[in-house]
Amino acid sequence: PRVPAEHSPSLAGLPRVPAERGPSPCILADSREISSGPGVISCLRAVHGLRVQVCSLGSSDYIVSSRLAVDRLLQSELQSPGNRNKLSQRLQRLRGAFERICVIVETDRARPGETSRLFQRTQCYDGVLSALVQAGIRILFSSCQEESAALLKDLALLEHRKDAAIQLPPEPQGHRRDVLGFYLSIPNLSYGAALNLCHSFGSITAVANSSVPALAAGARLSRPQAEELHRFLRHDFDLQLLPQPLPAKGKS
Amino acid sequence: PVTAGSIVVPFGHVIGNEKWRGSEVAQRLQGKVRLIFEDGLGLVDFHLSNRTCILLISEADLVAGDEYKRRLVRFRNASSLRGIVIVEKTQISNQYYSGVQKLVVLELGMVLLPVANQGEASQLIIQLVSFCVREQSRDRGANPFLRKQRAQPAEAAVLQAVQHIPGVGKTKALLLLQQFGSIHRLCNASTSELEQVVGQTVAQQVYTF
């Protein structure tokens, strides 16, 4: 439902949704964001009129298109070296699955009763930013959850224009749901790519028999990603290579 | 003069635009990085490496109007260098920030980093330089975000995937994979071939899936 911006005075300054043709783009949000970023999700829905589907993404906070993942980070998370390892592992995993990654660095909310803390820029903070820049990860800065929502909307519209939007419906039912689960278990395959496979191919057999270019086109994957998927589907299983020895079957 | 071409930056040096000589940024950079001033850099304020350069937008530029936008667009059109835009985001210029961000990041596809003052700008430039130096020395492993994840054997993942087929648990997944070898061949197996490994019901389930 589209609520006119006038009805919510605190958000009145935000740009309205431009009148567009066709359905508005869809954004997938990770279920953890319901608790950590409720303002973002409700603002996306109410103010910007976007479809937000909450699903268990695991990898990133938001998926904006079939190739772009967005992570929302708090400024304080970048301040101390303690988080650095966790952050880099998270972003490495994203790099495996997505062509483009964007982080939104959001100013921490002042807790009630707290006078606004002065933001002390640390060397670590600059170091993380430099590393992100060097890695080709896009960085956006936001001062609050509402602004983060506006940025997500801008990104979604941009990707929509470039014809990389998420295919609908974002959450298939019945048999297709099982098929989606199968695709999602493939390593380095993003939720968006798995959805595309669901929508573009009639069956798993059709996917398995497809050539690399056909996979790239159908799932909107980059060439190396399509090659990886192709390799995976034709991977010759070798029991010896299983990481841990299997437990003895049965209890006898 | 609208020049934004690439220039050769000696290893580990920063080339600064003559106009910054004596400024707070330059003073703070000196001693930390090897800074050389040069005339005629045109649109660029600092060259960090042969590929990377910095455009500084001050609080005053933001308040003054749209001139800085023309400068950025001219740079983008004229140069293939990676341009990092550093903008002074203060209480006064804060209101312009989201507009700048939309232009620089979303429309021009450049990098935008806010700082509160010239002191912070110099700190940030020092960090950026150290990453540029590492990049030139091909020490890419130093960047935690670029490091490759260790490739895991596909076996476990294949086994996991097969268990998503209705009616197939770990034991049947193993049996199926031992018989057919890959997901590709499993997909193309006939019902009768499947029946030799698993029961009739499950064979039918696997086939229809």
**Where residue A202 sits, what CATH number does that domain have?**
1.10.150.20
- Together in a domain, A153 and A224: no
The predicted-structure confidence for B69-81, as pLDDT tens digits, reads as follows 888 888 888 877 8
The residue that leads in pLDDT, B76 or B40, is B76
- Together in a domain, A106 and A200: no
Question: What's the pLDDT at A205?
Answer: 82
Q: What is the pTM of this model?
A: 0.78
Say which residue the tokens 């493939």 belong to: A186
The answer to whether B101 contacts A185, with C-beta atoms less than 8 Å apart, is: no
- Together in a domain, A104 and A201: no
The predicted-structure confidence for A13-53, as pLDDT tens digits, reads as follows 444 444 444 567 788 898 888 888 888 899 988 888 888 88
Whether A30 maps to a domain, the answer reads yes
CATH of the domain at B166: 1.10.150.20
- Together in a domain, B80 and B164: no
B-chain residues near A158 (CB < 8 A): 106
pLDDT at position A140 over 50:
yes
Shortest CB distance from B157 goes to which of A88, A186, A209? A186
CA geometry: angle B105, B108, B110, nearest 5 deg: 55
Nearest residue in chain A measured CA to CA from B162: A182
- Between the alpha carbon of residue A8 and those of residues A14, A50, A146, the distances in Å are 10, 17, 12
A10 DSSP assignment: G
Indicate the number of domains in chain B. Answer: 2
Task: Report the distance separating Cα A143 and Cα A121, nearest Å.
Answer: 16
- Together in a domain, B97 and B182: no
ipTM for the whole complex: 0.79
Q: Rounded to a whole number, what is the distance in Å from the CA of B5 to chain A's nearest CA?
A: 21
- Together in a domain, B159 and B90: no
Residue B174: give the domain boundaries: 154-208
Whether A130 maps to a domain, the answer reads yes
Residue A138: give the domain boundaries: 26-110+121-161
B-chain residues near A87 (CB < 8 A): 144
- Together in a domain, A87 and A207: no
- Together in a domain, B31 and B132: yes
B-chain residues near A141 (CB < 8 A): 97, 101, 112, 114
Indicate the number of domains in chain A. Answer: 2
Whether B198 maps to a domain, the answer reads yes
- Together in a domain, A207 and A156: no
- Together in a domain, A126 and A90: yes
Shortest CB distance from A235 goes to which of B102, B124, B154? B154
